[in-house]
Amino acid sequence: MSVNQKTIDIVKATAPVIQEHGVAITSHFYKLMFQHNPELKNVFNMAHQAEGTQPKVLAGAILGYATYIDNLPMLSAAVERIAQKHASLSIQPAQYTIVGKHLIQAIKDVLGEAATPDIIEAWTDAYGILASVFVKREGDIYNEKINEDGGWVGFRDFTVTKKTEESDEITSFYLQPVSGQLLQYNPGQYIAVKLKGEEHSHVNMRNYSLSDAPGKEYYRISVKREVGQGDKPNGIGSNFLHDHVLEGDIIEVGIPAGDFYLNEKSNKDIVLLSGGVGVTPMLSMLEHLVATHSTRKINWIHAAKSSKSHAFKSEVNELTRTHSNISSTYIYSDNLPEDKMERKGLVDAALIAELVENYSEAEYYFCGPKPFMKAVLNALTVLGVKEGQINFEFFGPSEELTTVEH
Ligand SMILES: Cc1cc2nc3c(=O)[nH]c(=O)nc-3n(C[C@H](O)[C@H](O)[C@H](O)COP(=O)(O)OP(=O)(O)OC[C@H]3O[C@@H](n4cnc5c(N)ncnc54)[C@H](O)[C@@H]3O)c2cc1C
Ligand code: HEM
């Protein structure tokens, strides 16, 4: 679908106004949408709504589109990331019509008389074009999945065959399909699970990275219990999984997706950095490198609060002990007496330079909480590592990463 010049001109001219009112428009949009289509509360993360992160994300995406309306290829990385996220949640074409209707209404309501018919028409066209880009890419992803051996799309019933405590706050769930096959995945990718307890008014969909190497007869997710603090309540999904999902229970699981995964074509030294539960996609990569007999030099750097919250230590120690190309380092931020012998502090440029022999040439993958992500990005920038060697996943709406100061 091509964009006509009038639409381009109007959208570009009005982008600053939309920017000014972006969060107001998207906040109003979500209110309209949940009022008229309450079934979509089963799709969106209502905690992100409460925190206000999701409205900012959508505002950012719309603005991004407005800026590049005549140069859509510039958006391809963002489109891929979002389409993968949408695909994991099984977003359907008909839902774009619903979103579009409420979004345009929200623009009208917030801008009032300033929203002339020409402006509304241009933004309707612009939304339609963006929606068609996503619908096409998501359709392609669904086709790829359905055409795999034993392929499927949407959500399937999986049995929790094993539940294992990995640390005082992280528990793994081994998931096997009730019938049919597993879809394969790239190490680093994630799935979505649908969770609904009797106390929940709607389904809670949550993404979890697959924490074991591909090729097993199960999916493994490893979930950190999200404990509330101050006026922040306990996390709904993670606490439900920890407290109420037991071995033998059945939960609904979506297709594996995500644009953050190991580049297997590369031969470069590889650095896998993780903070806390951000260890999950990194462990999948490490296990996969081992399973495929990779000879690449692998540096494993894991930051945790202390030995108590340090998950998968013995697995990684064992891999390090039995593979001369792997080295592992742990760094703790808390000062427990029993951790006296461990490194203390946070990941920074000096640590990476000390541990990674060929640090400017290596490939980096990292994941963790926001302060960790900031620290690692800063460190890599200080060390002059090129953007193409840096890959990361963020366990939340990715908007938050764009605010990381370099
Ligand atoms: C690609 C991806 C991969 C992921 N992989 C993993 C993984 O491997 N392991 C893992 O543990 N997690 C992972 N996550 C995170 C996971 O999806 C969940 O976000 C996490 O488990 C928390 O979900 P929850 O339902 O427990 O918390 P939620 O209920 O979603 O709450 C999230 C936060 O919002 C706060 N909040 C809720 N309501 C309000 C309110 N009214 N006001 C203010 N604050 C509020 C809560 O206190 C909490 O801090 C991943 C996320 C993504 C996007
Ligand atoms: C052109 C239209 C759309 C744009 C620009 C858009 C943009 C985005 C962006 C930027 C994210 C965050 C991705 C990330 O985590 O990095 C996101 C997530 C999401 N999108 Fe969309 N989206 C669109 C349409 C839709 C539709 C039609 C639906 C379904 C009704 C939908 C449902 C979701 C959900 C459920 C999430 C996860 C967010 C959460 O945590 O609740 N989106 N989208």
Q: What is the pLDDT of residues 279-318, one digit of tens each?
A: 999 999 999 999 999 999 999 999 999 999 999 999 999 9
Among 180, 163, 160, 181, which residue's Cα sits nearest to residue 172? 163
Ligand 2 pocket check: which of 56, 85, 135, 400 to mutate, most ligand atoms within 8 Å of Cβ? 85
Is 318 a known active-site residue? no
83 phi, psi to nearest 5 deg: -60, -35
131 alpha carbon, closest ligand: 2
The DSSP bridge partners found for residue 369 are none
Q: Which residues line ligand 2 (CB under 6 A)?
A: 40, 43-45, 48, 54, 57-58, 61, 81-82, 85-86, 89, 91, 95-96, 99, 130-131, 134, 397-398
- Find the 166 Cα to ligand 2 centroid distance in Å: 32
pLDDT value for 201: 86
- Find the 327 Cα to ligand 2 centroid distance in Å: 38
pLDDT, greater one: 197 or 109: 109
Give the position, in ligand 2's atom list, of the atom nearest the Cα of 33. 30
Which residue's CA is minimally distant from atom 42 of ligand 2? Answer: 86
Place of tokens 């008909």: 94
Question: Looking at 65, 96, 185, 365, which residue is catalytic?
Answer: 96
pLDDT tens column, 198-214: 888 899 999 999 999 99
- Find the 86 Cα to ligand 2 centroid distance in Å: 6
CB 273 within 8 A of CB 347: yes
Task: Taking residues 107-121, report their average pLDDT.
Answer: 95
Is 144 a known active-site residue? no
Q: Determine which of 74-78, 368-372, 391-395 has the lowest per-residue pLDDT on average.
A: 74-78
- Find the 334 Cα to ligand 2 centroid distance in Å: 36
Give the DSSP per-residue string, 143-204: HHHHTSTT---S-EEEEEEEEEE-SSSEEEEEEEESSS-PPP--TT-EEEEEE--TT-SS-E
Q: List CB contacts of 168: < 8 A, sequence separation 6 or more.
A: 308, 309
Q: pLDDT grade, residue 404 (50/70/90)?
A: very low
Task: Taking residues 142-148, report their average pLDDT.
Answer: 96
Q: pLDDT grade, residue 402 (50/70/90)?
A: very low
CB 138 within 8 A of CB 86: yes
Q: Binding site annotation covers 278? A: yes
Which residue's CA is minimally distant from atom 34 of ligand 2? Answer: 44
Q: Determine which of 135-149, 270-284, 338-352 has the lowest per-residue pLDDT on average.
A: 338-352
Q: Is the pLDDT of residue 125 over 50?
A: yes
Domains of the chain in sequence order: 5-146 (1.10.490.10), 156-253 (2.40.30.10), 270-402 (3.40.50.80)
